Amino acid sequence: MAAVTRPAARRATVAVRWMVLGLAGVFFVLPLYAMLDFSTKGVGGARDLSAWRAIPQDEELRGAIVTSMELAGLTAVLMLVLLVPTLTWVRLRLPRVQRLVEFLCLLPLIIPAIVLVVGIAPLYSWVTYVFGDTPLTLTFVYVVLVLPYAYRALDAGLAGMDLKTLSEAARSLGASWTTVMLRVVLPNLRGAVLSAALLSVALVLGEFTLASLLNFQTLQVAITLTGKRNAALAIAVSLAALVFAFVLLVVLTRLVGRRRDGAETLAPAAPTAVAA
């Protein structure tokens, strides 16, 4: 950023800066405080933690939390299995297909989840027929949902390493392609793989549209259903989920920030058209 040189201008800049930060602080902290207040409100102004204690006891919520965790893990794994070899292979051997793969990976950005659900609902009667009627089948459509973000993170990671030289060196020393992938590409891609995986986890844990309209009980769906019978409980879970996601992202920024090669991947991965 531009260094402000004149003392008077500098003071003005500092004042404006703190005013902006202060306003933003109030604007964004107020709802969080309200959630904390609302979820601990007892009779006659006393504090009461019963809503928070109810979280682990609520059968429906507990099941949904477990489902969402499993979905997050499965989605991250399937995404990596699908994307890492494909993107590596395309970069090495099929540069002409690169544009097509990029286009397909970014396509979900122009197809809102609410539209995807309309097109995929008929398909899901087949999916549940083949794989059983379990919410874990959401993994497939969630991989589609995280494609753009995962692609950007992994692509930036691959662009940042000398893939051709490394793989040719390994191959000329007799390594198989599996060895190249597991022992040459993946270790060099650690930062990018980590951000792609954690972004996927955050996205899956926050996803509501597809789960709700395909009638599967995930964390976010359970929160809305809970909200209809017990507002304090729903608000307590919401706050817990927000804090959890925040911690997850802080860990991600820390880990990625430490590795300079991956530092670029977080910001370009963020532009989103699926928030909320």
Partner 1 sequence: MTVSDAVVVRRQGTATAPGPRPTAARRRLLDHLGVLPFLAFVGVFLLYPTLTVVAGAFSDGADGVTLDNVRALSGPAYRDAFLRSLQLSALTAAIGAVSGALLAWAVVTGSPDGRLRRTVTAASGVLAQFGGVTLAFAFLATLGFEGIVTVVLRDSFGIDLFAGGAWIFELPGLVLVYTYFQIPLMVIVFLPALDGLRPQWREASDNLGGNAWTYWRHIGGPILAPAFLGSLLLLFANAFSAYATAAALISQGASIVPLQIRALQTGEVILGQQGVGKALGLAMVIVVTIVMALYALLQRRTTRWLR
For partner 1, the binding residues in 228-247 under the rule CB under 8 A are: 228, 231, 234-235, 238-239, 241-242, 245-246
| Contacting residues for 85 by C-beta, under 8 A, at least 6 apart | 181
By the rule CB under 8 A, 255 interacts with partner 1: no
CA angle (28, 31, 35) in 5-degree steps: 140
By the rule CB under 8 A, 15 interacts with partner 1: no
By the rule CB under 8 A, 55 interacts with partner 1: no
Among 43, 110, 130, 173, binds partner 1 (CB under 8 A): 110
The site string for partner 1 over 24-53 (x = CB under 8 A, - otherwise) reads: x---x-xxxxxx-xxx--------------
At closest approach, how far in Å is the CB of 165 from partner 1?
Answer: 19
Dist. CA 230–CA 227, nearest whole Å: 5
By the rule CB under 8 A, 169 interacts with partner 1: no
Dist. CA 106–CA 269, nearest whole Å: 11
The residue among 66 and 118 lying less far from partner 1, judged by its C-beta, is 118
> Number of residues in contact with partner 1, rule: CB under 8 A?
101
By the rule CB under 8 A, 141 interacts with partner 1: yes
| Contacting residues for 72 by C-beta, under 8 A, at least 6 apart | 200, 201, 204, 205
Q: Which of the residues 173 through 232 are near partner 1 (CB under 8 A)?
A: 176-178, 181, 199, 202-203, 205-209, 212-213, 220, 223-224, 227-228, 231
Helical axes 190-206 vs 138-159, angle rounded to 10°: 150
At closest approach, how far in Å is the CB of 26 from partner 1?
Answer: 11
3-state secondary structure of 262: helix
Q: How far is CA 274 from CA 49, 99, 146, 162, in A?
A: 34, 23, 9, 32
Among 72, 108, 153, 158, binds partner 1 (CB under 8 A): 108
Bridge partners, residue 41, by sequence:
47
Dist. CA 45–CA 47, nearest whole Å: 7
Torsion of CA 197, 216, 104, 78, to 10 degrees: 40
The residue among 20 and 66 lying less far from partner 1, judged by its C-beta, is 20
By the rule CB under 8 A, 154 interacts with partner 1: no
Among 74, 154, 197, 274, binds partner 1 (CB under 8 A): 274
By the rule CB under 8 A, 9 interacts with partner 1: yes
At closest approach, how far in Å is the CB of 20 from partner 1?
Answer: 4
Q: Which of the residues 121 through 140 are near partner 1 (CB under 8 A)?
A: 121-123, 140
Report how far Cα 23 is from the mean position of its chain's Cα atoms. 28
